[in-house]
Amino acid sequence: MNFNPQISNLPIYEAGKPIELVIREFGINPKDIIKLASNENPLGCSPLALEAMEKSIQKANLYPDDSYYELKDSLANLYNINSKNIVIGSGSDQVIEFIMHAKLNPNLAMLCAGITFAMYEIYAKHIGAKIYKTQSHKHDINELKELYNQHKDEIKVIFLCLPNNPLGECLDASDVYEFISSVDKDTLVVIDGAYMEFAKFKDSKKAINPKDIVSLPNAIYLGTFSKAYGLGGMRVGYGIANELIITAISKLRAPFNITTPSLAAAIAAIKDQDFIAQTLKNNLKEMSVYEKFAKDNDIEFIPSYTNFITFIFDNSKNSTQICDNLLKNGIILRNLQSYGLNAIRITIGTSMQNTKVLEALKKEI
């Protein structure tokens, strides 16, 4: 059987190993497994969201309100924008897919940082679009500008992952806005703010305001309920932009693209900003524990504005071996060898989880 040629060499996205796999392979008690590989919220999610999900199950036979009116209205109030400026996706990565199909074709291209969220490249390959990436691993504004100017007739989508997954660094908002203003009005700059709640809590200079994005002709802001809100299993994301952009990409959205429980959970989660505050405080506090460990043990790390930290090892250590050894002990971390880095990405967990992880990691280094 023949398939479209552009998928012949397409990589399959490598998600963090699930707890169920570790149980099957090593026979470890689920209670003894610590998963800090997928940047999930270690505090769970808001009790209000859990309650809303439980109630919504009674309506499992019914499709959700496909207008997503209440969710859009809640987001609009949160960001002081109009609900017409919002599109809902099954995770923000679905909105990325909408953008690719709306803007690109095999004769056009996307631009992104050298190491960033893998789905940008994968979705571009779905439609055979060209891909330009900086030599720098992190976001380098000057290099992004240079590449864009060299290929501006082709590049119609630029991704800025702020803060960046899987590395953790983040550009200042002032540099981002200046960059957007330097780009042609027909080139869409995508601000992927999946971890923005963590960045702006740590440093206000990093804060991208979706309301500011709405006023721009060539930018879209992406947000998610998977990280700070702790609803990764519910798959709810959104895009925020001017009405022209939202109308165009909404044409690519299938009906009922999130579930009734997902919709209920997201609406309730927005109401519980105390839970978000608790999440952000725990993350910042525990992040400092990892930074101290790295400094005390001469491990290179990338200062992070997310809910994870990246440790980079010298040639005397191997990140694959470290992750494999820890996995046998029920500790799931993210190996970054697939990105060409001898590094591991560790989600910031609870104090108890982090203590156990660092005790185990100490034995490996």
> Per-residue pLDDT for 199 more than 80?
yes
Chain centre to alpha carbon of residue 266: 17
Residue predicted with more confidence, 191 or 60: 191
In this prediction, residue 17 carries a pLDDT of 63
pTM of the entire predicted model: 0.93
And the tokens for 90? Answer: 């099954």
Tell me the pLDDT band of 98, cut-offs 50, 70 and 90: very high
The string of pLDDT tens digits covering residues 103-147 is 999 999 999 999 999 999 999 999 999 999 999 999 999 999 999
The string of pLDDT tens digits covering residues 219-239 is 999 999 999 999 999 999 999
What is the pLDDT of the chain when averaged over all its residues?
Answer: 94
Domain residue spans of the chain: 14-39+274-364, 47-271
In this prediction, residue 27 carries a pLDDT of 66
In this prediction, residue 15 carries a pLDDT of 63
Instruction: Give the Cα separation of 121 and 166 in Å (integer).
Output: 14
In this prediction, residue 4 carries a pLDDT of 76
The string of pLDDT tens digits covering residues 13-29 is 666 666 676 666 666 76
Q: Amino acid letter at 344?
A: I
> Per-residue pLDDT for 8 more than 80?
no
> What is the sign of the dihedral through the CA atoms of 102, 106, 111 and 117?
positive
In this prediction, residue 365 carries a pLDDT of 86
> Is 3.90.1150.10 the CATH classification of the domain at 14-39+274-364?
yes
Reference 236, options 262, 272, 267; nearest CA is 262
For the residues 155-180, what does the mean pLDDT come to? 98
For the residues 87-92, what does the mean pLDDT come to? 97
Instruction: Give the Cα separation of 190 and 199 in Å (integer).
Output: 17
Percent of the chain clearing pLDDT 90 (strictly above): 89
**Greatest alpha-carbon span in the chain:** 57
> Is 3.40.50.11540 the CATH classification of the domain at 47-271?
no
In this prediction, residue 21 carries a pLDDT of 66
Tell me the pLDDT band of 1, cut-offs 50, 70 and 90: confident
Greatest mean pLDDT among 13-17, 57-61, 79-83 lies in 79-83
